Amino acid sequence: MTLPATVAVDVGGTKIRAGSVIDGELAHVRSVPTPAIAGARAVLDTIAEVAAAVIAETSGSRGAESGGRSSAGSGGLAGGGDGSGSDFVWRIGIGAAGVIDPVTGTVVSATDSLPGWTGTDLVAELTARTGLPVRVVNDVHAHALGEAAVGASNDTRSSLLVAAGTGIGSGFITDGHLLTGRNSAAGHIGHVPVAAAAGLDCPCGGTGHVEAIASGPAILATYRRLVRGSADPDLVQSERAAQGQTHESAPATPSDSPTPTPASANAPVPTNTRELAAAASAGEELALRAFDIGARALGSALGGIVNVLSPEVVVIGGGLAEMDDAWWGPLHEAFTAELIPAASGAPLVKAELGQDAALIGAAGLWNDEPGQKH
Ligand SMILES: [Zn+2]
């Protein structure tokens, strides 16, 4: 007897997570660092190794349970069909960083976090390495599919998943279909212009986009400006107006930003978003203000998007979604204020599946009707 089984893989710029999904159950999850600096070939090799490890562990545990033989022990990853009692027919589903064409399985474009990633034919390269069929989408798109399958947007016909963390991305699903758009570029919600980001450089190369004021690194940059400006009432005033019209780069560089001093001389200086979140939770005024500015900008942008798309639910995931009311409060307020009457009451909720969403969504690529994605 054979059973369909999927190795689900989430390929990010810093780590690769993978697990097995059988009958909708995610198990045997493992995580390894992404050898990004070593280039695309090393990343592909690592994905294949992790997939093999997941298959071996899953098959081993099933074999122990049932006493049956596993396909992973038969030489190649493909296994199965050898008449020796193989349990699983394996395939691979991937959510990968970068703009991904799910039809060709190719990386259309990627940022510097994965050098050489652009142009990589993920399906061909990984099928060659594993002997298994492969389907792939963008990682945030996989996240959206996962939440829609069994998470916060389960049982809705349309949903918008927003991943807010180091960057800000999204996936829009309607009637079970992921909107990928021209050049597979749909979902770049971090690059909607908002007034609060006017003049701030965005990682995409443009200026004034919401990611430039609302991402984790952007909020940290705002905090640094606020700390620097605490001795400069004019600068603070401009931040309070949330205009950001100082024409500085969003991520302050060491050369132009002396180490900021915290409001309380005894408190440690936050050097990353996590520490800044802790400072905000502890009530530090400038930390709270930096999160407030970022959250309001994102809430405003999302309200505008909801006026266009009218999804049944907006689901927020990513690191910033783990914040408390210091972030969620102003996010909700600005979101609600932006909605037209016809869109009023649109729900904005927290994602439910955490990091597993992308794995579940990637595995779900194999649940689609044949021919939609290859
Ligand atoms: Zn941008």
pLDDT above 90 for 61 = no
* 110 close to 185: Cβ distance less than 8 angstroms: no
pLDDT above 90 for 370 = no
| Mean pLDDT score, 137-155 | 97
Alpha carbon of 205 to ligand 1 centroid (Å): 6
What's the confidence (pLDDT) of residue 269?
Answer: 83
Alpha carbon of 301 to ligand 1 centroid (Å): 13
pLDDT above 60 for 369 = no
| Mean pLDDT score, 230-236 | 56
Alpha carbon of 169 to ligand 1 centroid (Å): 11
CA distances from 289 to 277, 311, 317 (A): 11, 30, 21
| Mean pLDDT score, 184-203 | 97
What's the confidence (pLDDT) of residue 70?
Answer: 43
What's the confidence (pLDDT) of residue 266?
Answer: 60
- 101 or 260: which carries more pLDDT confidence? 101
What's the confidence (pLDDT) of residue 2?
Answer: 85
What's the confidence (pLDDT) of residue 237?
Answer: 53
Alpha carbon of 189 to ligand 1 centroid (Å): 9
Any idea which of 39-48, 101-110, 230-239, 323-332 has the lowest mean pLDDT? Answer: 230-239
| Mean pLDDT score, 267-280 | 90
Residue ranges with CB less than 5 Å from ion ligand 1: 191, 202, 204, 206, 209
What's the confidence (pLDDT) of residue 4?
Answer: 94
- 116 or 369: which carries more pLDDT confidence? 116
Q: What is the distance between the alpha carbons of residues 289 and 351, in angstroms, rounded to a whole number?
A: 24
Alpha carbon of 204 to ligand 1 centroid (Å): 4
Q: What structural domains and CATH numbers belong to the chain?
A: 3-150+355-367 (3.30.420.40), 158-350 (3.30.420.40)
Alpha carbon of 246 to ligand 1 centroid (Å): 17
For residue 176, what pLDDT band results from cuts at 50, 70 and 90?
confident
pLDDT > 90: percent of the chain: 77
Alpha carbon of 210 to ligand 1 centroid (Å): 7
Q: Give the per-residue SS3 of 106-175.
A: EEEECCCCCCCCCCCEHHHHHHHHHCCCEEEEEHHHHHHHHHHHHCCCCCCCEEEEEEECCCEEEEEEEC
